[in-house]
Amino acid sequence: MKSFRNKIPACLVHFFTGSGIIFSFLALISVMEGNKSQAFMFLGIALIIDIVDGTLARKYNTEINFPSIDGKTLDTIIDYINYIFIPCIMLYKFEYLPQSFTLIIPIIVLCISLYSYVNNKLIDISFSYVGFPSIWNVVLLYLEILSFNQSINLLIILSFIFLKFVPFKVFHPMRYNKYKKTNVALLFGTLFTSSILLLSKLEFKLISDAYSYFMILWLILNSYFIVFVIYSNIYSFNSKNELKKNN
C-alpha cells in the first residue's frame, strides 16, 4: 500500500512534465496564426513547467517508482521542441533577421542544437552545461523585449552560436546548492519582469515611468545571472586547481 501511495505523486510528476508538449502544440498553432504574444505565453508556461519539474521528480523519486519511464528522455524531447524548434520557426515567421538569413540561421541553430542534445558531455557531473545551453526561447524573448534591428539580432544570434563551441560552464541555478534559494527567487523575479515587459510591448502599454522601472529591474536581475556564470566558472576552476595541488 505504501509503495502504491508513493507512485501516485511520482506519476503526477510525469504527467506534469508531459504537459509541456501540450503547450508546445498551442505555441505552434499560435505561431501559425501569427499570434506572437500568445506563442510567447505558451512557451513561458512550458518554461515554468521545465524549471520546477526536475525538483519535483527528485523529491518524489520518479526513477525509483517508475523505472520503466525515462523522465530525462521525456524532458529532453519536450525541451528540444520548446527551447529550439518552435523558437526557430518564430525566427523565420516573425522576421527577426535580415531577409537573406531568415532560412539559413534557423537551420544552423536547429542542427547544432540537435547534436549538442545527443552529446554525452553536454552536462558534466556538477549538472552544468558546457557552452551556451541552447535556451533559444529565452534569447528570442530578450530580442523581442529589447527590440533591436534585424542586423543587431543577427549579430547576437551568431555570437550565441559561437558560444556553443566555447567550453565555459553554465551552472543550472536550481541545482547550484551554494546560492540555490537566492537563484530561485531571482530567477522567478526575472520571469515576472520579463512577462511584464513583454506584455507591455505586445498587448498593453504601461505608463512610461513604470516601464522604465521594470526595465531597470530586469537589467539588474539579468546582470546578476551573468555575474553568477562568471563567478561559478572562476570558483570551479580554482576548486579544481586546489584539488590538484592537494593530490
Which pLDDT does position 120 carry in this prediction?
74
CB environment 97-127: b (16+ within 10 A), e (fewer): beeebbeebbebbbebbeebeeeeeeeeeee
Which pLDDT does position 243 carry in this prediction?
40
The residue ranges of DSSP E strands in the chain, in sequence order, are: 128-130, 169-171
Q: Which three cell numbers stand for residue 56?
A: 519535483
Which pLDDT does position 205 carry in this prediction?
65
Which pLDDT does position 9 carry in this prediction?
85
Collect all residues with Cβ–Cβ distance below 8 Å to 65 and sequence separation of at least 6.
3, 6, 7, 10, 11
Which pLDDT does position 8 carry in this prediction?
84
The amino acid at residue 234 is I
Which pLDDT does position 184 carry in this prediction?
85
Contact 134, 97 (CB under 8 A): no
In tens, the pLDDT along 177-193 reads: 777 788 888 989 999 99
Which pLDDT does position 240 carry in this prediction?
53
Contact 46, 27 (CB under 8 A): yes
Q: How many beta carbons lie within 10 A of that of residue 151, not counting itself?
A: 11
In tens, the pLDDT along 73-126 reads: 898 899 999 999 999 999 999 999 999 999 999 999 999 998 888 777 777 666
Q: Which three cell numbers stand for residue 104?
A: 539559413
Residue ranges in the chain whose pLDDT is less than 50: 241-247
